[in-house]
Structure 1
Amino acid sequence: MAPTLNHDKSTVNLDFYTVNVMALTTLNAGLSYLQQKRQKKKADISSGVQPNSIQPGDAGYEVFKKRFLQVYLCVFGADWLQGPYIYPMYKDEKGLSEETVAHLFTTGFLAAAVSATFVGSLADRYGRRAACRFFCITYSASCITILFDNVIVLFLGRVLGGISTTLMYSVFESWMVTEYHCQRLDEMGGSLNDMFGIMTTLNSVVAIVAGLFAQCISDSLGTQKAPFLAAVLCLVLAFLSISKHWSENYGETAAHVTFLSTQGEPEKNGFRLIKEDKRLWALGITSCFFEGSMYLWIFFKFPALRLTHQLNGKGTDLPFGTIFAALMCAMMLGSMFFTWYTALPAGRWVIPASNLLSLCLMVAACCFLIPVLTRDEEITFWCFCVFEICVGIYFPTMGNLKENIVDDGVRAKVYGILRVPLNIFVVIGLGLTREGERHRDFIFRICGGALIAAGVVVRALMKE
């Protein structure tokens, strides 16, 4: 009788996560309908000029958007394919201890922190397109190392993964924003606000599909290595598309001589640029505490859910792919809310981007602190969903703020440097990792407090 009872409980649990996926998908569909209805109304008023006027060789906004997004989604799709399985693959399939897994993660973030001090500068100098292609090579190599059981090779893979992560979160967006400005796409009806919202929304869709696909192929092939090999295919496609469709852009252009070197003068130091602008200080602190907390949460979310699952007498098995899909649905909801909200006409209920960011940080803090106070599986899961909604709002909001503050000439350099503190934050957090729930609770409290502090800093230093 006991096995049957456990099986029934497991079925109830699977239904709980499936129902949440369905509910979040419905909310997304409703918000998407409202956005499309608004866009159609706007298009009727302005009687569209874009699609019909774009010729094959023109750098029109729609062509630009298509060429960038197909690469962007392949790149992040490769990253999302691994999402549900990085921790379980190291811990369960390879049988490594939690401390060793933490050291692997720490190595990756340490490599990211070190590389963040120079990869952006190199990308600005030698070309963002070249840096994007280099990323595809290094990240593919990182995925391939997962085929080996040798710990040294696995650590090498994390080093390559850390460097790749820095490139992924700096050079692609830098290329896009600079190319957007160079082609004057705002004059063709383009909108970077819209672009940032679309990027995060479609990224969430890709994450959902990738999570479910990763679960499908890992179950079918009987190994958690399968999603990593599928990621390599995505990266090959991205490399080919970049090579064929993207033009090169650099940091050192005549249009940005105020930030860059003129004849005989040394190039202005990226750290000094950040030091001299309090808004960049605020963005750096926010990036450190929010994204750093997000990475720590990625490491601890499944163990935290597994603990609540066990305490409810449901065993240790969780539907990782389904949970991942639900969380990505929540992130998509956040990004769609951002796109909908920022398109509203100015009024009493529309707040500046910096205030929206500050509010987002405060809500995210609660999502870390509440699971410390309760061991209820449903409440913990819902807190994680709300945190993902905050993630969906955070990235386009930060993209908007950085685009307005950072000059194109030093964009990749500054974006890279802004990632140094967050990687150090994560390295310290993971370096202290120990087995057990007490340590997870301690980390969650630290993250909650850090997010509250970041919200206060943004409110104080980024008044609009």
Structure 2
Amino acid sequence: MGYYQASFYSLLGLCAVLLASQPTRRAEPKKLAESRKQVTRDDKHPEASWYQVYALAMGADWLQGPYLYSLYRDEHGLSERQVSSLFTTGFLSGAVGAYFIGALADRHGRKAVCMAFCLLYAMSCFFTIIPVVPLLYLGRILGGISTSILFTVFDSWMVTNFRERKLVENGCDLSRTYATTSIVNNLTAIVSGVVSEWLVTATGTKKAPFWLGAGLLCWALQLISANWVENYGTDPSEPSDAPKTSSVRSTLKQPSILALGLASTMFEGSMYLFVFFWAPTMKSAQRSAGELPYGYIFSSFMASSMAAALTFNIVMQKRPFKYSRLLIGILLAANFCFVKLAGPKTEDATFWLFCLFEACVGMYWPCIGYLKGRLVQDNARAEVYGILRIPLNIFVVVSLFLAGDSSRFTQVFGACSVLLTTSFIAVWVASLKSNMP
């Protein structure tokens, strides 16, 4: 067994231990009498439908990721410049659509927009496998819009649903929900990577993961339609306008929200750049002979992220410190990773620095999700979340344009460390001036 394979299985073992140590829902006093009753098959977790749909939606996304670039270059025969233009189109469409999508979801229903996501992303999968340039661009536009929905409207529906159904009375906890969602995402990523590899090998075409992704989205659409209850940011029967607009503006002016917006832009932007540059960085640091086992390396990253999310669930059950303090620690740890990656490093050090950064990612998602869930009002949640993603998409597009090619990863990582330092200072100052949880 090779070094990277052994590392991956060791990280999986750590995940198994942490999974066995996870906290469970607390039984409320009024439920104690009912606990003696025989449990039926219908007595399932109150958030089961959320986790099921989220796993399917993220599975469709993860299936495409490893083969999108290769499909464009190897099967469609596009030039490097055309591929770069397609990726840029996806990020730009996500930036342009983010604001309008959030406002639309708050006004006309988040469940409806999540169902639209399933249709739009399935269409994106379909257009991506057709080697006609205009249709490929249309696929990227739909993909960018769909990604904005996935990372704003789904989250908004979940938080509002949690509060409207008063799930805390069923022993649920919003912090634990976010951590479990992150765990589901990481498990889905690992499984999707294995499945997509098998599909390509079995079918001989990189189009196969996109077909399966479209199938998962159709399944998710059916589950949303059958199991989700609609929720809104405003009453759809009322005329829209001033009150809500004022609420959005007042929310975005809060120092804590501005700090979280800066932190999410810099951290998530660095995460997207990591996705583009980790492979050439590992290649440049390689000292062993032969091809690197990229599949095992990527799976190790996902296992590191999952282990961190599982740790978050255990540690934050007791609330030993504020979530804003934890976010500061995450930003500092990520900054340390990029400082080290920007300098001379061995192959082993590069691998474990990437694993540490992925551990930061695993803790970041539930932490930032909980903070936004507490600080943003339900009546404008999707719109505010959408607006906060606009600078992120612009940041990634500008960074990729300035980077030029994958050989400049040291400069990119150095810039990321500077930007993460800025976001750390912003969150720290905001936590001092406002009552951040």
Q: TM-score, normalised by structure 2?
A: 0.91
Percent of aligned positions with the same letter in both sequences? 39
Counterpart for residue 219 of structure 2: 237
Counterpart for residue 275 of structure 2: 298
Contact 1:113 1:423 in 2 (8 A): yes
Counterpart for residue 150 of structure 2: 168
Contact 2:59 2:188 in 1 (8 A): yes
Counterpart for residue 25 of structure 1: 12
Counterpart for residue 64 of structure 1: 46
- Please tell me whether residue 452 in structure 1 is matched to residue 421 in structure 2: yes
Equivalent in 99, 106, 120 of residue 88 of structure 2: 106
Counterpart for residue 3 of structure 1: none
Distance 1:50 1:201, change over 3 A: farther
Contact 2:8 2:303 in 1 (8 A): yes
- Please tell me whether residue 423 in structure 1 is matched to residue 410 in structure 2: no
Equivalent in 150, 163, 183 of residue 201 of structure 1: 183
Contact 1:209 1:325 in 2 (8 A): no
Contact 1:84 1:324 in 2 (8 A): no
Aligned-partner Cα distance in 2 for 1:34–1:43: 18
Counterpart for residue 396 of structure 1: 366
Return the letter of the residue paired with 2:6.
Answer: V
Aligned-partner Cα distance in 2 for 1:243–1:90: 33
Distance 1:339 1:360, change over 3 A: same
Q: Which runs of 5+ in 1 are unaligned?
A: 1-11, 255-259
Aligned-pair distance for 1:101? 2.8
Aligned-partner Cα distance in 2 for 1:53–1:264: 50
Aligned-partner Cα distance in 2 for 1:155–1:53: 57
Equivalent in 255, 265, 271 of residue 278 of structure 1: 255
Counterpart for residue 185 of structure 1: 167
Aligned pairs (5 A) from 1:263-412: 265=242, 267-269=244-246, 272-309=249-286, 312=287, 314-315=289-290, 317-344=291-318, 350-412=320-382
Aligned-partner Cα distance in 2 for 1:49–1:252: 38
Further displaced range: 405-414 or 43-52: 43-52
Counterpart for residue 462 of structure 1: 431
Aligned-partner Cα distance in 2 for 1:336–1:118: 35
Distance 1:384 1:94, change over 3 A: farther
Aligned-pair distance for 1:197? 1.0
Distance 1:266 1:339, change over 3 A: closer
Return the letter of the residue paired with 1:242.
Answer: I
Distance 1:119 1:26, change over 3 A: same
Contact 2:183 2:309 in 1 (8 A): yes
Aligned-pair distance for 1:367? 1.9
Distance 1:86 1:69, change over 3 A: same
CA distances 1:156-207 after superposition (whole Å, capped 9, x unpaired): 2111111001000011111111111111111222211111111111111111
Distance 1:358 1:264, change over 3 A: closer
Aligned-partner Cα distance in 2 for 1:174–1:28: 28
Aligned-pair distance for 1:48? 5.3
Contact 1:138 1:161 in 2 (8 A): yes
Distance 1:204 1:287, change over 3 A: same
Aligned-partner Cα distance in 2 for 1:399–1:210: 24
The secondary structure found in structure 2 opposite 1:64 is coil
Aligned residues: 433
CA distances 1:50-90 after superposition (whole Å, capped 9, x unpaired): 7778999x9x9x54311111111100111111222233333
Q: Which runs of 5+ in 2 are unaligned?
A: none
Aligned-pair distance for 1:457? 0.8
Return the letter of the residue paired with 1:339.
Answer: N
Counterpart for residue 67 of structure 2: 85
Further displaced range: 442-451 or 116-125: 442-451
Task: Please provide the CA RMSD for this pair.
Answer: 2.8
Aligned-partner Cα distance in 1 for 2:240–2:85: 46
Aligned-pair distance for 1:212? 1.1
Distance 1:372 1:229, change over 3 A: same
Aligned-partner Cα distance in 2 for 1:269–1:118: 16
Contact 1:212 1:322 in 2 (8 A): no
Aligned-partner Cα distance in 2 for 1:205–1:264: 42
Aligned-partner Cα distance in 2 for 1:418–1:144: 29
Counterpart for residue 16 of structure 1: 3
